[in-house]
Amino acid sequence: MRLWQNMDWLLLGLVLLAGLMGTAAVAGVSGSSLHDPAVISAVKHQLGYTVLGVVALLVVTLVDYHAWARWAKPLYAFLLVLLVLTWRLGHQTLGAARWIRIGHLEIQPSEFCKVLLVIWLATALAPQVGQMRRWGRAVLPILYAALPAGLVALQPDLGTSLVFAAIVVAVLYAAGYPGERLALGLALVVGGGVAAVVAHVRWHLPIPIHGYQLQRLLSFLNPQADPQGTGYHIIQSEMAIGSGRLFGTGLFSMGVNNQLHYLPEANSDFIFASIGNTVGFIGASAVLLILGLIVWRTLRCMAAARDGLGALLVAGVAAMIAFQTVLNAGVALGLMPVTGVPLPFFSAGGSAALTNFAAIGLVQSVVMRRKKIQF
């Protein structure tokens, strides 16, 4: 098919490379050698998720992205149903009900909802591209995103809620909503959040977050105040990265340490710290470079889109990948509070892998149809 000639092969190559590197990173923290049964199991699982992700990418690529716009309303309704079911019936792990168990599989619906939100927002705003100067234009998109974001926050999952917010801001900006107004809105939200936390600490006024989430925010400011409790994750993450130095301690060295659980969630939430430990500053920089190139190439696809719908879809995907990368790496480096957001294409987990590859499939669907096919 001549349609495939328009595929962005560099973008495809980058995400495949990231998926393979992610498999190696997960293996490196799962055991002490390549022959370790735990390592073999981790490789099978993560490589299997990567293969399924590539299949999802190709399937989504084959679907004309305008079809997703026609399905936007039922997809949005499906999104809400998934989140309500997860909130009420979800399987709890580490105190959070974010997963639905089907047999031996655990699915995290909030991951899939990131792409569904991108589709809904792009569809809703596409007819208004270039007509977004009025203040009120942002109200409905924000309200539509606030409902699923609120359901995710109830699981509780503050990190994914922040990813939803980043997607909303990016799609609004790409649709032509003034950047200075978005910046003012973000400043007001952040300022209000800080004021609410201060008021709670000083005067015990209620705030809509769980106690452990508040402690994470406070421990970010001073991890040493509770080094064996709320500050433990940040301290151990910084120590792991620091001990990796320039070239790292070796691919399977973290496997031995991981058996002692000195770095919690070493293969998922703190995978960047694990990478920094095993392959050092050079390896961690290479990971950020690859993810940065994926975002850059995605933005190139956005510029090539032939209509507003395509451009907004790609903008949402770029924001999703970029924000998660910054947030995951920022948490590992102690620059941001612990939020539990995975590193795209690198963190362990099937739901995240399928979501990220499917999102790139959406980008490929746009770029492959950037011009009419000549027969």
Per-residue confidence in pLDDT tens, the chain, 375 aa: 566 778 899 999 999 999 999 999 988 887 777 777 888 888 888 999 999 999 999 999 999 999 988 998 898 888 888 888 887 776 656 555 676 777 667 788 888 889 999 999 999 999 988 788 777 778 888 888 888 888 888 777 788 888 999 999 999 999 988 888 888 888 888 888 778 777 767 777 777 666 666 676 767 666 766 666 667 778 888 888 888 888 888 877 765 445 445 777 788 888 999 999 889 999 999 999 999 999 999 999 998 898 999 999 999 999 999 999 999 999 898 888 888 789 999 998 888 999 999 999 999 999 998 765 433
Q: CB neighbours (10 Å) of residue 8?
A: 20
Provide long-range contacts, Cβ within 8 A and 24+ apart, for 82-88.
Answer: 82/109, 82/112, 82/113, 83/109, 83/110, 83/113, 83/148, 83/151, 83/152, 84/151, 85/109, 86/110, 86/151, 86/155, 87/151, 87/154, 87/155
199 residue type, one letter: A
Whether 282 is in a domain gets the answer yes
What's the predicted TM-score (pTM) here? 0.89
The tokens of 293 are what? 């190139």
> Quick one: pLDDT at residue 83?
85
Rounded Cα–Cα distance for residues 60 and 368 (Å):
12
Rounded Cα–Cα distance for residues 295 and 313 (Å):
13
Whether 375 is in a domain gets the answer no
358 residue type, one letter: A
Whether 85 is in a domain gets the answer yes
Rounded Cα–Cα distance for residues 256 and 29 (Å):
8
Whether 278 is in a domain gets the answer yes
Q: CB neighbours (10 Å) of residue 34?
A: 12
Q: Helices (DSSP H) in the chain: which residue ranges?
A: 9-28, 37-62, 65-70, 72-89, 109-125, 139-153, 158-174, 179-203, 211-221, 232-244, 253-259, 271-304, 308-332, 350-368
Cα–Cα separations (whole angstroms), residue 310 to 31, 205, 374: 43, 45, 20
Q: Where in the sequence is the domain holding 134, given as residue range(s)?
A: 2-368
Whether 373 is in a domain gets the answer no
Give me the half-sphere count of Cα atoms (radius 13 Å) on the Cβ side of residue 21: 24
Count how many domains the chain has: 1
The tokens of 199 are what? 């008021």
Rounded Cα–Cα distance for residues 161 and 360 (Å):
21
Rounded Cα–Cα distance for residues 42 and 28 (Å):
9
Whether 19 is in a domain gets the answer yes
**Bond from prior residue into 156 cis (ω within 30 degrees of 0):** yes
Find, among 268, 289, 283, 286, the residue nearest to 332 by Cα: 268
Whether 374 is in a domain gets the answer no
Whether 80 is in a domain gets the answer yes
Rounded Cα–Cα distance for residues 152 and 82 (Å):
10
> Quick one: pLDDT at residue 121?
93
Find, among 27, 8, 11, 18, the residue nearest to 50 by Cα: 18
